A = this chain, B = another copy of it.
Amino acid sequence: MAIPRAAKTQRRTRIQEEKEERILEAALDVFSVSGFRGTTIDQIAEAAGMSKPNLLYYFRTKEAIHRQLIDRVLDTWLEPLRAFNAEGNPEAEIRSYIRRKLEMARDFPRESRLFANEILQGAPHIEDELKGPLKDLVDEKAEVIRTWARAGKIAKCDPYHLIFSIWSTTQHYADFDVQVRAVLGHNLSGEGRFEDAARFLEKLFMDGLRVTATS
């Protein structure tokens, strides 16, 4: 008799690792579009090319799949902010943060939408992570920004709202992609939208942060 669901100490089989990856990949497709409640196990199973009971052999519940996805995304999602370096050049750090966040929106739109869906629905699965690790990290980096401002290296501004506005403007190109495409149309301007966005956002934030005579 099989000890069900990979309960053994080691994840031995190659097949197990492979199938789990395929399930997560398929689940990301579906969850990122339909949200948790709107997604069915059958949809995921079909997208992963296996039967529902077979899928449930690897993940006991829908929640289990979702949680693992969310955990992964939360981790990689904050990497750019973690890389934010207090010792570096302020303008360069912020500019590179914007660029990296925009690249993530371009390269991992499903992950961005999964996260957006979760927040939109009131973050029922990750409230603790938001109030804990996320808040702590933002608090830390906000203090860095405030220090830079006090030292006169960048203009004075609310560091929290600065971070919020970088998050929102960059993630917009992943989460609201359909709308962006619809508005830009499929003419030339739509294709290079990430390059255009990068140019625009870097200018916007750099102008806003540059120390001016009036500030």
Contact = CB atoms under 8 A, between A and B. Distances in A.
Interface of A: 33-39, 113, 116-117, 119-123, 127, 130-131, 134-135, 138, 155, 157-158, 160-162, 164-165, 167-169, 171-173, 175-176, 178-180, 182-185, 189, 196-197, 199-201, 203-205, 207-208, 210, 212
Nearest to A167: B172
A68 B22 CA distance: 39
Most chain B beta-carbon contacts within 10 A, residue among A34, A138, A182, A197: A182
B33 A36 contact: no
A157 B208 contact: no
Question: 6 nearest interchain CB pairs?
Answer: A37-B38, A168-B172, A130-B182, A161-B200, A38-B38, A204-B208
Number of copies of this kind of chain in the complex: 2
Given A182-B127, A183-B134, A204 B165 contact: yes
Contacts of A155: 207
A182 B117 contact: no
Given A168-B168, A183-B130, A34 B33 contact: no
